[in-house]
């Protein structure tokens, strides 16, 4: 009898594990907010240091109609862009909401590991054409500087991502209708390196 119960328990446990794996795969494929690098659902949560869901805060409840919320490394602030393509920050407590950019089309803010800077994409109209560059600014919106030159290179740059040491950024480049390519650049705008790769979500390990 004991052996039969053990066998039954093992079978049920195997079924449970299989269902969890299938559910995870389906969630990743269909954009579940808990899959991969996160989705765009209003149910995304900010957890405390121990990951206790009961103390979580609804990210999209904090940013309202904002897009692409990015949590600072210390978990204290969220950066996002609004429906007018301007970048804002807000504390996770909901206080100190601040507009950082204006007058341009600014998207996809990305925090530096030390929380002192934000990289982002800025689109501008030049000679009748739209060009997108990677820009960098202090976390209070001051000292906004371009890192790339889309007009000079004939490309458009997008989706900046910081290296863990904060010394470099990876970003996506698109030239016309070609496949996206990955570039790496120093945080001061020097030493731009091309790394051919068909991927629109760069990252630096």
* CA–CA distance, 11 with 161 (Å, rounded to integer): 44
* CA–CA distance, 43 with 34 (Å, rounded to integer): 9
- Summarize pLDDT for 31-59 with one digit per residue, the tens: 333 333 333 333 344 444 444 333 355 66
* CA–CA distance, 148 with 162 (Å, rounded to integer): 15
Q: Is the pTM of this model over 0.85?
A: no
Tell me what pLDDT residue 34 has.
30
């Amino acid at each position: 009898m004991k052996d039969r119960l053990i066998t039954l328990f093992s079978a049920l446990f195997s079924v449970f594990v299989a269902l969890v794996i299938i559910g995870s795969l389906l969630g990743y494929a269909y954009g579940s907010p808990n899959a991969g690098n996160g989705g765009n659902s209003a149910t995304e949560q900010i957890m405390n240091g121990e990951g206790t869901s009961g103390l979580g805060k609804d990210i999209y409840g904090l940013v309202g109609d904002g897009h692409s919320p990015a949590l600072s490394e210390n978990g204290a602030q969220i950066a996002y862009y609004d429906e007018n393509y301007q970048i804002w920050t807000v504390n996770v407590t909901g206080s100190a909401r601040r507009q950082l950019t204006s007058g341009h089309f600014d998207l996809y803010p990305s925090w530096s590991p030390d929380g002192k800077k934000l990289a982002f994409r800025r689109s501008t109209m030049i000679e009748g054409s739209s060009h997108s560059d990677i820009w960098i600014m202090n976390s209070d919106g001051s000292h906004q500087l371009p890192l790339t030159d889309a007009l000079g290179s004939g490309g458009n740059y997008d989706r900046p991502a910081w290296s863990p040491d904060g010394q470099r950024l990876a970003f996506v480049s698109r030239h016309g209708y070609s496949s996206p390519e990955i570039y790496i650049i120093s945080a001061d705008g020097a030493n731009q390196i091309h790394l051919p790769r068909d991927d629109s979500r760069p990252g630096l390990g």
